[in-house]
Structure 1
Amino acid sequence: MKHQETAQQIVKSVGGVSNVNSVYHCVTRLRFDLKDNNKADQAALKKLDMVMGTNISGEQFQVIIGNDVPKVFDEMVKEFPALKQSAEGGKQEGEKKQNVILKIFETIAGVFAPMLPAITAAGILKGLLALFVTLGWMSAGTDTYRILSAIGDGVFYFLPILISFSAARKFGSNPFISVGLGAALMYPDMGVLLSSGNPVHFIGIPVTAVSYGSSVIPILLAVWLLSYVEKAVDRIITPSLKLLLVPLISLLVMVPVTLIAIGPLGTLIGDGLSGGINWLLTEGGLFSGIILGGAMALIIMTGMHYALVPVIISNLATLGFDKFLPLTYISNMGQAGATMGVFLRAKDKKLKSVALSTSVTALMGVTEPAMYGVNMKYKKPFIAAMIGSAAGGGFALAFGVKAYALAGNGGIPGLPGLVGQTFWYALGGMGIAFVIAAAVTVMLGFKEDADDAELISASIAPPAAPAPAAVPEEAASATADDTAYAPMTGRAVPLKEVNDPTFGDELMGKGIAFVPSVGELVSPISGTVMNVFKTKHAMVIRSATGMELLIHVGINTVKLRGQYFEAHVQTGDQVEAGDKLLTFDLEQITQNYDITTAMVITNTADYKQILPLKLGEVGFGEPVLKAEL
């Protein structure tokens, strides 16, 4: 349900279906081609829990989501079928003229993004096999190794067939006719014929000997041309014969044309691109590493790296390694290092906490929270990240670092993709990027803004409850069993159902949650109000027996900065169970926020066990939580 609601809100915020020419997704982002980017409400998008940020690259409008982007995209095209057609290559009226280079990048991305799960799985397996052999856990000649190798290598060898299916969806041709085209090129006897060394002719026309195994560019061009041939044939064939003749004529035309013209041309283009880029990466060494490493974050932000996807995959399939991929790992380490520098330099505790958590996330290969949430916001850390990445990239290419598999993750989990002869140099480049980015961030500094820090924190995790300074040290632990009563009318649910890991994973402590039906919060215990957050969306109360309760109304509602909330108590007030603490405009808040309210015992460690007493429909004052010493 969460993905469906997010999808609906995203479409609404980009100006509705009528404003969308096309949309597809990559690993972390929805990439829109909008008729008018000015109609997109970026502020509304950034308020959505699952949206990390937005970005405009050229004319492309990007909504950054993270690992859940496929689920959001699936819900989007399910809810709005017109968007599915645009994602598969269809066009809508009013589609604006687009930059040719950007269109090529988008096309390549649209073809390869759906294939990434298969390519990633194969790449990880190949990396693990290389690691197992290196460590002596497996021998390369065993039956088990050969079977596992077939799983990993098969995807890359039969890459033209995978590409033909995905490209057909992008170009609007019949995917099964396209697969038939790819299968004909990969047919075993075709390979024997073209590799025999003897002249090959088709009806007297010479056929150039080309190996199509693991190739990329030839099949892309072939399926693109097939989409036009298929439509042309479809227009001239009578309806009663379409099923029989359109596929037959399309294949009879396209397979020979591919063998005679497109295949050699595509191979020439592919070899030229691979050769030129590989020459730059190999011969440019230190200089190329500095330039590409430093610019990698910008390359990824603009989507230009998708133009290199065919080259990367071709290198892995034919050479067994690629020199561009390590730079993506190094760039991620630069972003992680910069946010670590923010953590070291920042004075605001909330910003320090956010910077540390996003640094760890970037180390794990997910850089959007670090890049967009922290580094770009404060600017100088982003520059520091580029400097660190340039240094790491220069080191890596100076020592010829290679990636041996497409692991699908440019962080620590993706390290198996780098296992090989240059592995230690790869780690060195990553370490240099991290350390230098952190050091430069600390040296350059940045201007802190407390309000900005609070908003950044809200987009990643709810704020932690501040320590109640007014509590005497000797009274800091619980002294008796305690019971908390329902602070609102609505539905009580287990804490794990809160859609935020800070509460759902019980990082703040054990407790219970509520979905309110009335916009009023009352005190669940008798005691002292230790803290009323200045944004009024959360409070900390301590009972006379020492139980400390944090009540947090809604997810990310800190962004409202107190709007729609009215506090009826102040820090230091004494309250009885049932006293009114807060009222809030339930209707207004639920338009943009999840109103699920968490109530947690922050001093959970003081108790032997904490038990929910009632789930389901509850009313004010019903016992819902018991803490036992």
Structure 2
Amino acid sequence: MDYQKTAREIISLLGGETNIVSLFHCITRLRLSLRDLEKVDRKALQDLDGVMGINLSGDQFQIIIGSKVSQVCQAMQAEIPRLATTAEKTEAPQEKRRSLVSAALETISGIFSPIIPAIAGAGILKGLLSLCLSFGWVASTNQTFQILTAISDGVFYFIPLVLAFSAGNKFGASPYLSVALAAILFHPALVTLLKSNEPVAFLGLPVAPVSYASSVIPIVLSVWLLSYVERFFNRLVPNALKTMFVPLLSLIIVAPIMLIVIGPAGISVGNALSGGIIWLVENMGPLAGIIIGGTLSLMIITGMHYVLVPIIINNISRLGYDPFKIIMYVANFGQAGAAFGVFLRSKSKKTKSLALSTSFTALMGVSEPAMYGVNIRFKRPFAAALIGGACGGGFGLTLGVKTYAYALSGLPGLPALVGPTFGWALVSMAIAFGVATLVTLLLGFEEEAQTPPVKEKEAEPVVEAPVSLASEQVWAPVKGSLAPLGQLSDPVFADEIFGKGMAIVPETGLLVSPVKGSVGSVFATNHAITLESESGAEVLIHIGIDTVKLNGRHFTRLVEDGQTVNIGDPLIAFDLDALRQEAIDPSVIVVVTNSDRYSEIRETAAESVETRDAFLKLTALAV
């Protein structure tokens, strides 16, 4: 790569020198502050040789370069010297104060996103059981049916426990102490006491006789309070006594407040929200369906759709159904229909292939690839998707379509709709898909010219014969539970732009070498490191999401660039508790950056690993 040429092209496509306020880089990305984002030629940047992708995080524009990011950054600083003088000031940008709405949306998303796979899987099973019961294929007294019902209902009945763990991670409280707090709500002695129809009091203060099974809001608010109380005692109690007295004091203070104040108030708020949704559907069904069905995709872009998740779960738990979730189905089918319309109308083979594949993905319940990759890109298809969603939503709410379980809003989630209104649900989704497809065909869209840009003639590079790599085992660099990259909130890692791998939710704060080899580089803020094994595997390890903003706080490097390391040698120490207290996802991300040199990269552990356990198996390509 000609770094200076690439730097000049990037500067030009960013809108020129005057549009760039500041520049710094992390282990893989250029991070820029720009005066006017509208001046950026995003498509040309995306297609530029050496650029793996682009991303917008808040007001920060990111260009994904990969392992050569440092050289490209230096080349840009050579072209614009003032960027080098501002680099130190911008390496640790202070996070802007977020609005209350933005903070609330991010919090709801951070709590509910991790639990969706569990409730979606159980919801699909719940729908299938309902289907079997409706067609008379099984009797409700059948013992196998009853056990399967318990499997499908368990996560919904005990959802405060699941939410407690997730909220603990989000708010920076101990997730295990959070679960202990939630478990109080289900203790048989307390449940019996609250059902006794006798007044219940704690130290003379009344405790409301409410049931917390399947509740959502009370435990989230209680864990939020717990995070502050636990933090207070962590600062106050001496280290030698923390293990015993911090949990004790935290539970003694928070649990009574939860039972006396937060719990009853949370139940009332949840019931009020559910009642509001029911009123809206009963009194403004068609209009509500048209407005929300037509704007839900816009809500998805802003993250506001997560506000609906706790309401939907509460409705299903309290009423046995939700009258509103059909909107999520029709919105996804609208995006699928618009992308399918692009497939039918486009003359570009590349666009047709992308549109068809993302249309199918949206039908399966994941609309973002179709929305961002096709419909928004061509503009008019996105408008067609909104129109399709409005038509399907208006029809569905007019006919009173109900959803009986929480599941993915796509074809795999159809069993959750099985019931008296199942037929109307199918018609609603067909309307959304068909209208979006038809409107896309009628409106059309402007397709980019397919003529490739003229490039300067360059000297032919010397191509070296590829080195034959050997299969090898990568060992766990930290103790913790495993998570696929696709679950990460950072799309660069989730989409495997840098390669395949796995994430580990750490239980300790010491990162050790997963291979025998050498250190490529430790990033300046000590939150990321690259390694090369003796067998040729190139491994990137990144601690936490967006930890570059900490500017090295909570991280201590234990090795230097070029140093030889053995499996298990300490690499970086990090303060896990401090990361959680700052509400940072501490996931340790392990990526094999030369994944294309291996025929298979698979995890060899099930759910959790100890340090130096077998972790990833790399199978070399046959030569």
Shift of 1:379: 0.7
Distance between the aligned counterparts of 1:597 and 1:177, measured in 2? 42
Shift of 1:254: 1.1
For the structure 1 residues 241 and 592, does the alpha-carbon distance in structure 2 shift closer, same or farther, using more than 3 Å as the test? Answer: closer
For the structure 1 residues 381 and 595, does the alpha-carbon distance in structure 2 shift closer, same or farther, using more than 3 Å as the test? Answer: same
Shift of 1:419: 1.2
Name the structure 2 match of 1:330.
330
Q: Where does the alignment leave 5 or more consecutive residues of structure 1 unmatched? A: 1-12, 21-33, 65-91, 456-486, 494-590, 599-614, 618-629
Distance between the aligned counterparts of 1:307 and 1:362, measured in 2? 21
Distance between the aligned counterparts of 1:50 and 1:164, measured in 2? 41
Q: Is the 8 A contact 2:342 2:355 kept in 1?
A: yes
Q: Is the 8 A contact 1:321 1:402 kept in 2?
A: yes
Distance between the aligned counterparts of 1:413 and 1:49, measured in 2? 38
Distance between the aligned counterparts of 1:337 and 1:331, measured in 2? 10
Name the structure 2 match of 1:192.
192
Q: Is the 8 A contact 2:324 2:397 kept in 1?
A: no
Q: Is the 8 A contact 2:157 2:213 kept in 1?
A: yes
Shift of 1:121: 1.8
For the structure 1 residues 253 and 597, does the alpha-carbon distance in structure 2 shift closer, same or farther, using more than 3 Å as the test? Answer: closer
Name the structure 2 match of 1:423.
422
Distance between the aligned counterparts of 1:138 and 1:267, measured in 2? 35
Taking structure 2 as the reference length, what is the TM-score of the superposition?
0.61
For the structure 1 residues 51 and 134, does the alpha-carbon distance in structure 2 shift closer, same or farther, using more than 3 Å as the test? Answer: farther
Shift of 1:592: 10
Distance between the aligned counterparts of 1:202 and 1:390, measured in 2? 51
Q: Is the 8 A contact 1:200 1:206 kept in 2?
A: yes
For the structure 1 residues 391 and 151, does the alpha-carbon distance in structure 2 shift closer, same or farther, using more than 3 Å as the test? Answer: same
For the structure 1 residues 399 and 50, does the alpha-carbon distance in structure 2 shift closer, same or farther, using more than 3 Å as the test? Answer: farther
Name the structure 1 match of 2:434.
435
Distance between the aligned counterparts of 1:316 and 1:263, measured in 2? 19
Shift of 1:259: 0.8
Shift of 1:616: 4.3
Query: In structure 1, the residue corresponding to 2:248 is in which secondary structure?
Result: helix
| Superimposed CA distance per residue, residues 271-325 of structure 1 (whole angstroms, 9 cap, x where no aligned partner) | 2222212321332210000000000110111100111211111112221211222
Matches within 5 A, 1:281-320: 281-320=281-320
Letter in 2 for 1:204: G
For the structure 1 residues 379 and 205, does the alpha-carbon distance in structure 2 shift closer, same or farther, using more than 3 Å as the test? Answer: same
Query: In structure 2, the residue corresponding to 1:451 is in which secondary structure?
Result: coil
Distance between the aligned counterparts of 1:313 and 1:252, measured in 2? 29
Name the structure 1 match of 2:370.
370
Distance between the aligned counterparts of 2:29 and 2:465, measured in 1? 41
Shift of 1:179: 1.2
| Superimposed CA distance per residue, residues 380-427 of structure 1 (whole angstroms, 9 cap, x where no aligned partner) | 1110111111000000000111111122x2221221121111111111
Q: Is the 8 A contact 2:234 2:242 kept in 1?
A: yes
Matches within 5 A, 1:209-228: 209-228=209-228
Distance between the aligned counterparts of 1:268 and 1:152, measured in 2? 26
| Superimposed CA distance per residue, residues 360-384 of structure 1 (whole angstroms, 9 cap, x where no aligned partner) | 3322223233211221111111101
For the structure 1 residues 45 and 250, does the alpha-carbon distance in structure 2 shift closer, same or farther, using more than 3 Å as the test? Answer: farther
Q: Is the 8 A contact 2:29 2:63 kept in 1?
A: no
Distance between the aligned counterparts of 1:286 and 1:398, measured in 2? 5
Distance between the aligned counterparts of 1:50 and 1:404, measured in 2? 46
Letter in 1 for 2:100: V
Distance between the aligned counterparts of 2:430 and 2:50, measured in 1? 32
Distance between the aligned counterparts of 2:325 and 2:182, measured in 1? 27
Mark the structure with the bigger radius of gyration.
1
Letter in 2 for 1:289: G
Q: Where does the alignment leave 5 or more consecutive residues of structure 2 unmatched? A: 1-22, 65-91, 454-462, 470-591, 600-620
Name the structure 2 match of 1:174.
174
Shift of 1:117: 2.2
Number of positions where the alignment pairs a residue of Structure 1 with one of Structure 2: 420
| Superimposed CA distance per residue, residues 89-128 of structure 1 (whole angstroms, 9 cap, x where no aligned partner) | xxx9833211111111111111112212221221111111
Name the structure 1 match of 2:26.
16
For the structure 1 residues 182 and 291, does the alpha-carbon distance in structure 2 shift closer, same or farther, using more than 3 Å as the test? Answer: same
Letter in 2 for 1:359: S
Matches within 5 A, 1:74-113: 94-113=94-113
Name the structure 1 match of 2:231.
231
Shift of 1:354: 3.4
Name the structure 2 match of 1:449.
448
Distance between the aligned counterparts of 2:424 and 2:256, measured in 1? 47
Distance between the aligned counterparts of 1:264 and 1:35, measured in 2? 47
Shift of 1:185: 1.1
Distance between the aligned counterparts of 2:367 and 2:326, measured in 1? 15
Taking structure 1 as the reference length, what is the TM-score of the superposition?
0.60
Distance between the aligned counterparts of 2:220 and 2:278, measured in 1? 21
For the structure 1 residues 383 and 14, does the alpha-carbon distance in structure 2 shift closer, same or farther, using more than 3 Å as the test? Answer: farther
Shift of 1:168: 0.9
Letter in 1 for 2:270: G
Q: Is the 8 A contact 1:338 1:385 kept in 2?
A: yes
